[in-house]
Chain A
Amino acid sequence: AQRVTQPEKLLSVFKGAPVELKCNYSYSGSPELFWYVQYSRQRLQLLLRHISRESIKGFTADLNKGETSFHLKKPFAQEEDSAMYYCALGGQGFSFIFGKGTRLLVKP
């Protein structure tokens, strides 16, 4: 069965520190992985998708099929990065599966 695991409910870092939000998935087929972000009082929005291999707001994520991971990274966290982050898995024949989310808190 398909599954997405985000092991941390809360990640707290200081401004300027590196950030890594972990995401592991379980899927035997060819996965499509995404990161979504939800800022306070705003709607859920797409941050990254693995096939685009781009950097958005300084965040990057690399799909590691060997480790079945898609960790989200940023070298220097900003206070405005504080939000809820969801990893999502797509594939053949099913709708998105979301992880339980990680709340990132960036302290001044």
Chain B
Amino acid sequence: DGGITQSPKYLFRKEGQNVTLSCEQNLNHDAMYWYRQDPGQGLRLIYYSQIVNDFQKGDIAEGYSVSREKKESFPLTVTSAQKNPTAFYLCASSRQWGNYGYTFGSGTRLTVV
């Protein structure tokens, strides 16, 4: 069953903590993306990766970090520097960057407590 899996579904973070959101795909896609979804804001691009061991900042990368050590995996770390981390985070992948056949994960809702 091919797809893209995000975990956990819900995550609670204390002020000052870093947390890492997992995104795994078995679609053999080269490109992966992280978006943040806020009510009334739509989806905003945090980071993207065109290929293994390469990633680029999106529109709202401040306070976030990523790695792409394996083709299947693109974890997102929300650092304590992110001022307003409470949001819904969506991971996506596509066969190639610039190919817009995106497949989305089911999302992780992060709440700062």
Interface residues of A (CB under 8 A from B): 6, 9, 32, 34, 42-46, 49, 86, 88, 90, 92-93, 95-101
- State how many angstroms separate the Cβ of B34 from the closest Cβ of chain A: 10
Contact-residue size bin, chain B (C-beta under 8 Å from the other chain): 20 to 34
Q: How far is the CA of A95 from the CA of B45 in the complex (A)?
A: 8
Given the complex of chains A and B, what is the CA–CA distance between A96 and B33 in angstroms?
10
Measured between beta carbons, the chain A residues less than 8 angstroms from B98 are: 90, 92-93
Q: Mark B23-45, 1 if CB is under 8 A from A, else 0.
A: 00000000001010000111111
Q: A6, A90, A99 — which one has the most chain B CB atoms within 10 A of its CB?
A: A90
- The answer to whether A45 touches B33, judged by C-beta atoms less than 8 angstroms apart, is no
A33 nearest in chain B by CB position: B100
Q: Which 10 A-B pairs have the closest CB atoms?
A: A100-B42, A98-B43, A44-B104, A90-B100, A43-B106, A98-B42, A43-B104, A101-B42, A95-B48, A95-B45
Secondary structure at chain A's binding surface: helix, strand, loop or mixed? strand
**Chain B interface residues toward A at CB < 8 A:** 33, 35, 40-45, 48, 58, 90, 92, 97-98, 100-102, 104-107
Selected from B42, B97, B107, the residue in CB contact (under 8 A) with A43 is B107
Is A44's CB under 8 angstroms from B100's CB?
no
CA distance A99 to B43 in the complex (A): 7
Query: Does the CB pair B102–A96 fall under 8 Å?
Result: yes
With the chains together, A45 CA to B105 CA distance in Å?
10
A5 to B40, CA, bound (A): 12
B33 touches A95 (CB 8 A): yes
Could you tell me the distance between the alpha carbons of A60 and B106 in the complex, rounded to whole angstroms?
A: 25
Provide the residues of chain B in CB contact with A100, threshold 8 Å. 40-42
Q: Measured between C-beta atoms, what is the minimum distance from A94 to chain B in Å? A: 9
- Determine if A44 and B42 form an interchain contact, defined as CB atoms under 8 angstroms apart: no
Identity of the chain A residue whose Cβ is nearest the Cβ of B38 in the assembled complex: A100
Residue pairs across A and B with Cβ atoms less than 8 A apart, 7 shown, are A6-B42, A43-B104, A86-B42, A90-B100, A96-B102, A98-B43, A100-B42
B45 and A44 form a contact (CB under 8 A)? no
